Amino acid sequence: MATPYVTDETGGKYIASTQRPDGTWRKQRRVKEGYVPQEEVPVYENKYVKFFKSKPELPPGLSPEATAPATPSKPEGGEPGLSKTAKRNLKRKEKRRQQQEKGEAEALSRTLEKVSLGETAQLSSAPPGSRAAPTATSDQPDSVASTEKAKKIKNLKKKLRQVEELQQRIQAGEISQPSREQLEKLARRRALEEELEDLELGL
């Protein structure tokens, strides 16, 4: 906010009187010649800051047109202009991602082996004439179904674990008055166990 100056007939400057929040008035003050109010004082910059602000980005004598068509070459480490630490972090992330993909591929191959082992057991018990038909029809849908079953089993086991922990906490006296949701969770235990048994038998 600019300072409200008042000029009198002799040419002297004054800061106008202002009212305080409690209703009293401040006296008007005379301003000496050459006075600059605090809010109008320019921010101090040392000589180094001024030098680097005025310094051109290009070396002396080099025209901006000469640098425009040149495209920066991409260094071996990946992104251009990255520090050693950033390049190292990029390599670590890439390695982690590859390991994760490798782990997922191994898990998928294991589930496929389980499915194929189950199919061979079924085929060996079937008569010789009906062996060729199931292998042609059951390829990927079975693997997808088995992974879905595995996920459901894992989820049900997790829910059962939570129910058991809740029951132990109630028996130990940590929870004196269980909420309605907690009681519902305990009541669902038998249904969860039955569903888990059905899924495990279906595998």
Q: Helix (H, G, I), strand (E, B), or coil: what is residue 13?
A: strand
189 CB contacts (<8 Å, ≥6 apart)? 160, 163, 167
Q: What is the pLDDT of residue 119?
A: 55
In a domain, 137, yes or no: no
Q: What is the pLDDT of residue 4?
A: 65
Reading the chain (203 residues) residue by residue, the pLDDT tens digits are 556 677 776 767 778 888 999 999 988 888 887 777 777 888 888 888 888 888 777 777 777 777 765 555 554 545 567 788 888 889 999 998 888 888 888 877 777 777 666 555 555 555 555 444 444 444 566 777 788 888 888 888 998 898 888 888 888 888 888 888 888 888 888 888 888 888 887 75
Q: Helix (H, G, I), strand (E, B), or coil: what is residue 31?
A: strand
Distance between CA atoms of residues 186 and 171, nearest Å: 12
Distance between CA atoms of residues 172 and 39, nearest Å: 67
Q: What is the pLDDT of residue 21?
A: 93
In a domain, 184, yes or no: yes
Q: What is the pLDDT of residue 22?
A: 94
Which position has the token pair 């004439």? 129
In a domain, 48, yes or no: no
Q: Which two tokens stand for residue 137?
A: 């029809």
Q: Which of 100, 198, 102 is nearest to 149 (CA)?
A: 198
82 CB contacts (<8 Å, ≥6 apart)? 75, 90
Q: What is the pLDDT of residue 133?
A: 46
Tally of domains within the chain:
2
Q: What is the pLDDT of residue 170?
A: 85
Q: Which residues of 114-152 are buried (b: 16+ CB within 10 A; e: fewer)?
A: ebeeeeeeebeeeeeeeeeeeeeeeeeebbeebeeebee
Q: What is the pLDDT of residue 32?
A: 82
C-alpha dist (Å) from residue 13 to 3, 25, 37, 105, 112:
11, 19, 13, 83, 92
In a domain, 170, yes or no: yes
Q: What is the pLDDT of residue 25?
A: 92
Domain coverage including residue 16: 1-31
Contacts 24+ apart (CB under 8 A), 40-44: 40/2, 40/3
Is pTM, for the whole model, over 0.85? no
The H or E element that residue 6 is part of is strand 5-7
Which position has the token pair 């009906």? 130
DSSP for 56-78 reads -SSPTT--HHHHSSPPPPPPTTS
